[in-house]
Amino acid sequence: MEEIELSGFVKQAARNMTPLLKEKELRLIMHMNLDNQYYVLADPTRLRQVIMNLLTNAVKYNVDGGQISIDVFEHNEYIFVKIEDTGVGISIEDQTQIFDHFFRSPLVKDEVEGSGIGLALAKQLIEAMGGKITVTSESGKGSCFMISLSKQ
């Protein structure tokens, strides 16, 4: 684990998504102020893997012409990464299982390619770094994933 400046780290990961964003004509909005530097102690390889998984899901499960917004902010002793999309959303029932290994929502598993391990792995990796990952969502209105890590 090493000290990472999270705003720049997330911005770089988002830049890697440009080709996928263009494919679906998605708009990416980054709310983070790069003047604010937020440091966390994390494994950079694993953290990049988690952020890329969340961004890839935000693209895959979004509607053509939709939007993805990213924010990095501080609250109390934590730094948060918030990734929100305007996609198909996740039902209340599915939200209780979304971080389970191999879970795929029956509503989208035939329409969107995937294995059902990405979010389970993301949760495991974030928890190994002492953090948390949560989701809020509404069917048909998109999803919001939030990562929290202790401030360095």
Q: How far, in Å, CA of 126 to CA of 112, rounded?
A: 25
Number of Cβ atoms within 10 Å of the Cβ of 21: 18
Which residue intervals of the chain are DSSP H helices? 6-15, 18-23, 44-60, 92-95, 118-128
Residue 46 in tokens: 């694993």
Cα(134)–Cα(148) distance, integer angstroms:
9
Closest CA to 89 of 58, 114, 121: 58
Q: Which residue(s) pair with 150 in the sheet?
A: 78
The answer to whether residues 73 and 82 touch, using CB atoms and an 8 Å cutoff, is yes
73's tokens: 């902010």
Q: For the whole prediction, is pTM greater than 0.85? A: yes
Give me the CATH code for the 2-150 domain, please: 3.30.565.10
| Per-residue pLDDT tens digits for 9-65 | 899 999 998 888 888 899 999 987 767 789 999 999 999 999 999 999 999 889 999
Choose between 25 and 92: higher pLDDT.
25
Residue-range domain boundaries for the chain: 2-150
